[in-house]
Amino acid sequence: MRIRVNRFMQRLLREPLVHFLVLGAALFLVFNLTGETDQAGERRIVVTPGQVEQLAAQFSRTWLRPPTPSELDGLIERYVRREIYYREALAMGLGQDDPYVRNRLALKLEVLLDDLSAEAEPADTELADFLESHAERFAKPARLSFRQVYLNPERHPDPTAEARRLLETLRDGGDPNARGDVSMLIPGLAAASPDEIARHFGEDFAEALVVLEPGGWDGPVRSPYGIHLVLVTQCEPERQPALAEIRDRVLVEWRDQRRHETKEQAYQRLRERYEIVMQQDSAAPAPDTAAAQQAAQVQAGQ
């Protein structure tokens, strides 16, 4: 008899209708425990013409054609279904302990604060003040044009003496293409910034070139690769551009900074509404107590 009852219960538990009834009872219990109200405003879902138009536009972008009337009805019904599920999930608190939902909602609020922080076009005087207070950010770096002749120190018994001899030859009009050692280094650069030069020859080489006078061969200048003799043909020093020259760039950075400041101010105002409590772990000893215990163990071991 007991075996028959067990088999009957197993068959019963596999029935979908039983699962549905259990789920319905659970939902009824949750709704009663959460004290859910049945106000008309909370149970009203309004589908506006703008939302319908947006649903149709999304369909058209995906399928490259407008939806049929039946397809549009299906889109609207799907929207209503998701809205119902969303509201019921919020009422049941299903997203409270879900890190993905929490992060998505926080991100949406952050995007909303971004939109709220958008301001009108600033005056040129405000941009000029911003440019002046962040001059180092917008400074135009020096530009150098040069060519170089390379000496491999491993190929010469006295590399320094060989560099001096070769320098005199170049100053006397010697052909730089016929002088120096063969290497994979580029022969020179035109209108290059110190950073661009450093990428090819190293930072020490770039720093040395900035102080050289253009118009004559000079050196030796050292790099991680060896020794160089250098002819700087043109040097444009670092300069501060006028606002009219870089207004678009200044405007972009001004907006970025203003957006960041506005968001931070909004966050601080919101934070003032909350009490932040750092709860201590009662199981863990205080730092001083832990240190004292560790010292006592060391002494006991001695």
How do the residues of the chain divide into helix, strand and coil, expressed in percent and rounded to 5?
A: 60, 10, 30
* Confidence category of residue 91, pLDDT binned at 50, 70, 90: confident
**Per-residue pLDDT tens for 166-177?**
999 999 888 888
Q: Is the pLDDT of residue 2 over 50?
A: no
Average pLDDT over residues 24-35: 45
From the list 108, 86, 117, the residue with the least C-alpha distance to 261 is: 117
Kindly list the structural domains of the chain, giving each domain's residue range(s) and its CATH number in brackets, ordered by start: 19-94 (no CATH), 141-236 (3.10.50.40)
Cross-strand pairs, 236: 143
Q: What pLDDT score does 64 carry?
A: 93
Residues 6+ apart with CB under 8 A from 146: 188, 189, 209, 230, 231, 232, 233
How many whole angstroms separate alpha carbon 172 and alpha carbon 215? 14
Phi and psi dihedrals of 166, rounded to 5?
A: -65, -35
Phi and psi dihedrals of 277, rounded to 5?
A: -115, 120
Q: Is the pLDDT of residue 302 over 50?
A: no
pTM, two decimals, is: 0.49
Cross-strand pairs, 145: 234
**Per-residue pLDDT tens for 234-279?**
988 888 888 988 899 989 889 888 888 888 888 888 888 877 776 6
* CA distances for 140 relative to 136, 143, 237, 246, angstroms: 9, 9, 9, 10
From the list 149, 154, 142, the residue with the least C-alpha distance to 165 is: 149
